[in-house]
């Protein structure tokens, strides 16, 4: 798929760094953008320091781009104030350069579906603060595209896991790190309901497809990933990899409010509880029909994630 045009990835975090490496591996010239230099960058990639919330700075950092990816994130406790300006900066950069803008979103914008699988045609009916923020950010993108100011493709993924994913995910340190250390996995909600967990390398590959296949532009796509299983079934796979049973310490909804008094992230998680007390299933068939089956089998994804956690110096 090699091409000589420049792809600019805003965000060098959990997904941004995987996407940068994936694009570079495809022979694409890549520039990553964030405020702080990431600890590691895929070989041959350029990196630029910029505050994306400043539109002029963002446009300058994206100079020469044919495709721009929005993989930024704002502090979880400050989405309404901090997240929209970040995306506006990147949107301005795409308008300025004429680049295709590929945006990574989560699923908060849909709101509760009563367990019905999420398809791309669902209305954005979020009932939570962070969900309404995300839905408003999507509306800004769609309005800009409709007005002919920018070309966009939106990719959505569920709670993710993978090598390098430690914080900010239901399946990070407190599941994989705890499991390897012989502690119970922390989990919020009902572990016996089916839940789609996305795998970061699949998200990166999916975003790269949106950036390189002309059929993706102008549409929303649910990114591929392993099939939905119950969280307990996923933890059984983790147990198989770590070599001992993994218990679950499930935090009930009623406990979140008092715990949230001392832990601001738990306070924020309370409003997302609905995602874990009803089935939470992402329908990725639109992507698979268009671009082919692409999700990593769950056992392989869990094995690779546990293998990465084992390489960390502080892992017992």
Ligand X SMILES: NC(=O)c1ccc[n+]([C@@H]2O[C@H](COP(=O)([O-])OP(=O)(O)OC[C@H]3O[C@@H](n4cnc5c(N)ncnc54)[C@H](OP(=O)(O)O)[C@@H]3O)[C@@H](O)[C@H]2O)c1
Q: What is the CA radius of gyration of the chain?
A: 19
Task: CB nearer to ligand X: give 156 or 216.
Answer: 156
Print the binding letters for residues 39-78 with ligand X: x by CB under 6 A, - otherwise: -----------xxxx-----------------xxx-----
User: What is the 3 state secondary structure string of 26-55?
Assistant: CCCEEEEEECCCCCCCCCCCEEEECCCCCH
Q: Is there binding between residue 196 and ligand X (CB under 6 A)?
A: no
Q: Taken in order 123, 127, 131, 133, is the CA torsion positive or negative?
A: positive
What's the DSSP call for residue 217?
A: T
Binder of ligand X out of 9, 28, 68, 86 (CB under 6 A): 86
Contact range with ligand X by CB under 6 A, out of 157-165, 241-249, 284-292, 301-309:
157-165
Strands 229-230, 194-195: parallel, antiparallel or unpaired by DSSP?
antiparallel
- Per DSSP, 156 falls in state E
168 sits near ligand X (criterion: CB under 6 A): yes
Site string for ligand X, 21-40 (x = CB under 6 A): -------------xxx----
100 binds ligand X (CB under 6 A): no
Minimum distance of ligand X from residue 16's CB (angstroms): 5
User: Which lies closer to ligand X via its Cβ, residue 3 or residue 271?
Assistant: 271
Structure tokens at 121: 């045609």
Question: Do 248 and 187 form a contact (C-beta atoms < 8 A)?
Answer: yes
Angstrom CA distances, 87 to 81, 102, 186, stand at: 12, 11, 32
Residue in the block written with tokens 């009916």:
125
178 binding ligand X? (CB under 6 A): no
Q: Which residues are at the interface with ligand X (CB under 6 A)?
A: 11-16, 34-36, 50-53, 71-73, 86, 104, 106, 157, 159-160, 168-169
């Amino acid at each position: 798929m090699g091409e000589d045009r420049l792809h600019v990835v805003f965000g060098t975090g959990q997904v941004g760094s995987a996407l940068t490496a994936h694009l570079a591996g495809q022979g694409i010239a890549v520039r990553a953008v964030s405020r702080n230099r990431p600890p590691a960058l895929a070989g041959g990639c350029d990196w630029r320091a910029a505050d994306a919330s400043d539109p002029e700075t963002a446009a300058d950092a994206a100079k020469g781009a044919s495709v721009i990816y929005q993989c930024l994130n704002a502090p979880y406790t400050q989405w309404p104030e901090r997240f929209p300006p970040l995306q506006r900066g990147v949107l301005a950069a795409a308008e300025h350069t004429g680049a295709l803008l590929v945006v990574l979103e989560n699923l908060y914008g849909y709101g509760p579906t009563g367990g019905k699988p999420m398809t791309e045609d669902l209305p954005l009916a979020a009932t939570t603060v962070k969900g309404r923020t995300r839905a408003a950010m999507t509306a800004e993108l769609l309005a800009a595209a409709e007005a002919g100011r920018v070309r966009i493709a939106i990719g959505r993924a569920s709670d993710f896991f993978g090598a390098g994913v430690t914080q900010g995910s239901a399946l990070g340190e407190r599941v994989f790190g705890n499991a390897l250390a012989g502690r119970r996995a922390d989990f919020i909600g009902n572990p016996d309901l089916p839940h789609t967990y996305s795998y970061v390398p699949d998200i990166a590959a999916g975003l790269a497809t949106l950036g390189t296949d002309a059929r993706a532009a102008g549409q929303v796509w649910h990114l591929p990933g392993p099939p939905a299983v119950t969280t307990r079934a996923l933890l059984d796979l983790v147990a198989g990899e770590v070599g001992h049973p993994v218990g679950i310490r499930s935090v009930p909804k009623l406990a979140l409010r008092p715990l949230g008094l001392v832990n601001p992230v738990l306070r924020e998680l309370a409003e997302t509880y609905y995602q874990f007390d009803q089935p939470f299933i992402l329908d990725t068939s639109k992507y698979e029909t268009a671009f082919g089956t692409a999700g990593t089998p769950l056992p392989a994804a869990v094995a690779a994630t546990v293998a990465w956690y084992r390489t960390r110096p502080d892992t017992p």
